[in-house]
Chain A
Amino acid sequence: MAPSSSPNSLPQNMLEALLQKLGTAVLARVGTGNTFHLIGDPPPWWATTFKTSPESLIDVGSLAPFLQHFLDESESAWRTDPDRVVRSGPWSHRDLTSILHQFEATALTASHRPLLLIERVDERFDQIQTLLQQARDQRLHHIDQVKTHERTQTSLTGSLAIATQERDDVLALLQHLDLAAIVTNQEGRVTFISPRCLAWIERPSTRVIGQPWEQSLPLESADRKHLRQTWDALTPQRGRRPLRLTSTTPRWIEYEIHADPQSSERRIILLHDRTEVQHLRQQLDHQTQFHDLVGRSPAMLQIYQLVRDVARVDSTVLIEGETGTGKELIARAIHYSSPRKDRPFIAANCAGLTDSLLGSQLFGHKRGAFTGAIDDHHGLFESTDGGTLFLDEIGDIPTSVQTSLLRVLQEKEITRLGETRPRKVNVRILAATHHNLNEDVIRGTFRADLLYRIRVARIHLPPLRDRRDDIPLLVQTLLGQVCATTGKAITDLHPDSLHLLMTYSWPGNVRELKSAVEFAVISARTTCLMPSDFPEELRHTQRDHRPPFSLESHHTEPKTLLLRALQQAQGNRTEAAKILGISRATLYRRLLAHRIDVAE
C-alpha cells in the first residue's frame, strides 16, 4: 500500500491498525502467482485458522480450496480491470480445531498493487443466516400448509365425488323404481326432490328446494289439510286416502311419511302414482254405485244409464217400483245429474192428503181461501222454481188435484187456491207410484191425459228379490253406513247370515234390508254379524219364492191388498205394514184413504 501524500490521509501504521481492528487480513500479491504477503499484523483469528507465519510469503491457494478458486476468479480483474472489486461471497472453512467459521474475500487493486482482503464474518453471517432460516422455515411451513390444504381439498373432492355418485345412484334407483321422493329438513323445507316428483308437480327444482314442503305440492285445500294432519301426527305413516295433484296433468297419489333414519327431525315423503288405480276404482264405483243407488246387476246398470239419459232432457219421468225400491233415490239421481242440480229438489208425498190440503201444499193458497188459511202461502211448485219437484205416490192424488196438475204440466203455470191469477213456474216434475196407473185409468181413478203427460219417460225399479246378486254389495254398503252412524265396528258377515239375506223375499225391498242390517248391528255382540243378530221374521219366514203381496199390487185393488195383509197379520197393523213393505204411517194413511176401520 503506497504511503498517502494528502495531508488528510491516514498514516500507514494507523491504516494497518484499523484493518486489524476490523478483523480483516490484508494480503498484497507478490509477483503474478498465488504468493501474497500480509500487510501489517494479521487479525487475531489468522493464527488459529491458517498454519502460516505472518512474516513469510503465503501461498493463498493452499490455505483453502475456496481461496484457490477465488484467486482464479479474481485474476482477470487484477490483470485487466484495476477498478473492479471482486467479492467472493461467504464460504465456510474449519479452523485448526475443526470449528467451522464463515469468511468472505475481496479482490481489488490499490496503487497498482493487487490486494486480497480476507474477513471472518461469523457475526454478520449468523445474523443473515438467522433471517434466512426464518424466511425459509416460513416458506416450508407455508408449503406444508398448502399441501395439507390440497390434501384436504383432494379428500373433500373425493368425498364429494363419492357422495355425488351415491346420490346419482339413489336417483337412478328412485327413477328405476318409479318412486317420487321429497326430503325435508327440521324446518319442513324441501332439501331434496326426485326428478320423478318434479315431473309430476311440473316445477323446476329451483322453485322447490328450500321452500316449505306444503307449498311444493299443488293440492286442493282439503287435501293439503289432510296431508298436514298426517304430517303433524309425527309418527311414520301412510296416508289414509289418495291425494289429487292439481297440475296440468292431474294425478292421484298415495303417500308415506317417514322419519329420516339419519335424523329424526328430517322427513322423507314417498309418493306413489295411483292415478290408474284411482281411475279403475272410479270406474268400478261408477258401475256399482250411482249417486246413492247401490247395485251392479244388469237391471241396475241399465237404470243408471236410463237416469243419465233422462237427466239430460227436461221431460217428466214416471218412476215405478215397489215400496222401498228407492224411487226417491232415482228422482234425486236424475235431479243431481241434470242441469237443474243447483236449484231446489223437493219431494212431496201425495198419499193420504185431502184435495184442499194437497192442492194447498202443491199450489199454495190465498189468505182465507179455506178454513185455516190465515195467511198467503206459496206452494211447493213455487218453492221448487227452477228445480225438480218429486211427486211420490202420484197414483193416490185426488181427481181435482190431478186436473190442476195437468194444467201445470201443460201451461207451466199454477194458480194458488183462492186466486184467479195464474203464476208462471219453471219446474221439472218427477213422479213415482207403486200403483199400476194403467189399471187406475181403466178404473177411472187416474186421468189418462195426466198419465200420458207424466209418463213421457218411465223408469221401472226392480224389486230386490229380482236382483239378489246386489244383496252382498248392498249389505256391505249399508253396513258401512250403519257402523259409521252407530259407532260400532262390524267387520264380517257370517256366511250363514249372507245365506239368510240372500234367500229372504224382501217384500220391503232395500228399505227393509237396511232396517234388518241396522237391527243386526245393534244386536251384534261381536264384530261378525251372525244369523241370530237379524230380525226374527227373517229367520222364521218360510223360504218360498212366491211374489209377496206388493208384487201383486199391479193387478189387485189396493183396498183388497190392505184387507188381505190385515187378515194375514191377524189385525196387527205393524205386521201388516211389514207384509206390505210399507211403514206404519203409510199403512194408516192408506187405511184412512180407503175408509177401512183402523180401530184396534
Chain B
Amino acid sequence: MIQKKICLLGGFAVGKTSLVRRFVTGMFSELYQTTIGVTIEKKALLVGDQDVTLMIWDLYGEDDFQKMRESYLRGSSGYILVADGMRRSTLDTAEALHQLAQSTLGPVPFVLIVNKADQLKEWEIDEATLARLRHKGWLVFTGSAKTGEGVPELFMRLTQTLLEAA
C-alpha cells in the first residue's frame, strides 16, 4: 500500500473543502463554511494495479486573516492549487502559494483546478490565461465541485503523476 500526502492550496472560498468532499464522499453542499486549520481526509485509489491511499490535507484558505504555515506542507508528495473561475484574484493567490510550495517542497508534482465551471458565464479567468499557464508546463483542469465535473480526473491525474515521479 502506497500512502501519499497531498495538500489543497488556494484562496478562501475557492472550493477546496467542497472538492475534497466531492472526491471523498461524492457529496456537495451549497453552504459555504470556512475552514480553520487543517482537515485531513483519507481516500484509497487503485491506479493501474497499485493501491494508493491519499492523505488529503485540506488546508484553510489563504487570505489576510490566515496565512499559510509552511510546516503543513512538509511531507507532501504533491499539491493541488485551487482557484475560483469567477474571481481573477484567486488565480494570483494560487500562483503565490505555488511559489511558497515550490520553495518549501522543491519541484514536486502539482495540478491546478479552476473551480466553479458550472458558472462559466461568470468567469473572470479566460482561456488565454489558462493557455499561458499550460504553456508554462502546468497541468490545468477546469471543473466543478458542485457538479463533480473534472474532480475525479483531477485527483487521479495528480496521483498518477506522483507515482510516475516516485
Contacts and interface: CB of A to CB of B under 8 A. Distances in A.
A102 B38 contact: no
Nearest to A100: B39
A125 B36 contact: yes
Interface in A81-114: 89-92, 100, 102
Contacts of A66: 38, 40
B75 A72 contact: yes
A139 B63 contact: yes
A129 B34 CA distance: 7
B141 interface: no
A102 B74 contact: no
Interface stretch (A130-138, A492-500, A530-538): A130-138
Given A69-B74, A73-B74, A133 B34 contact: yes
A234 interface: no
Interface string B66-78: 1001011011000
A596 interface: no
Nearest to B66: A132
Contacts of A102: 36-37
Contact of A73 (B32, B33, B66, B71): B71
B55 interface: yes
A128 interface: yes
Contacts of A487: none
A86 to B, nearest CB: 9
B12 interface: yes
Contacts of B69: 89
A132 B71 CA distance: 22
B36 A128 contact: yes
A91 B38 contact: yes
A258 B75 CA distance: 81
Contact of A90 (B12, B37, B40): B37
Given A69-B75, A89-B69, A143-B87, A136 B34 contact: yes
B34 A132 contact: yes
A92 B75 contact: no
Given A65-B40, A92-B39, A136 B75 contact: no
Interface of B: 12-13, 32-34, 36-40, 42, 55, 61, 63, 65-66, 69, 71-72, 74-75, 86-87
B27 to A, nearest CB: 14
A140 B37 contact: no
Of residues A64, A91, A128, A133, which shows the largest number of chain B Cβ atoms within 10 Å of its Cβ? A91
B13 A92 contact: no
B125 to A, nearest CB: 13
A473 to B, nearest CB: 77
A147 B39 CA distance: 31
A129 B13 contact: no
B142 to A, nearest CB: 20
Contacts of A100: 39
A136 B87 CA distance: 14
B40 A132 contact: no
23 contacts: A64-B40, A65-B42, A65-B55, A66-B38, A66-B40, A72-B75, A73-B71, A89-B37, A91-B38, A91-B40, A92-B40, A100-B39, A125-B36, A125-B37, A129-B33, A129-B36, A133-B33, A133-B34, A136-B13, A136-B61, A136-B63, A140-B13, A147-B86
- Name the 6 nearest CB pairs between A and B, nearest first: A90-B37, A92-B39, A91-B38, A133-B34, A91-B37, A65-B40
A149 to B, nearest CB: 14
Contacts of A133: 33-34
B85 to A, nearest CB: 13
Contacts of A132: 34, 36, 65-66
B55 A72 contact: no
A64 B12 CA distance: 25
Contact of B36 (A72, A73, A90, A143): A90
Given A132-B65, A136-B63, A91 B34 contact: no
A129 B12 CA distance: 13
A487 B63 CA distance: 92
Nearest to B39: A92
Nearest to A104: B37
Nearest to B124: A147
Interface in A223-260: none
A73 B49 CA distance: 34
Nearest to B33: A133
Contacts of A135: 65
Contacts of A136: 12-13, 34, 61, 63, 65
Contacts of B55: 65
A90 B38 contact: yes
A73 B65 CA distance: 23
A132 B36 CA distance: 9
Contacts of B37: 89-92, 102, 125
B62 to A, nearest CB: 12
Contacts of A69: 71-72, 74-75
A147 B84 CA distance: 14
Contacts of B13: 136, 140
Contacts of B71: 69, 73
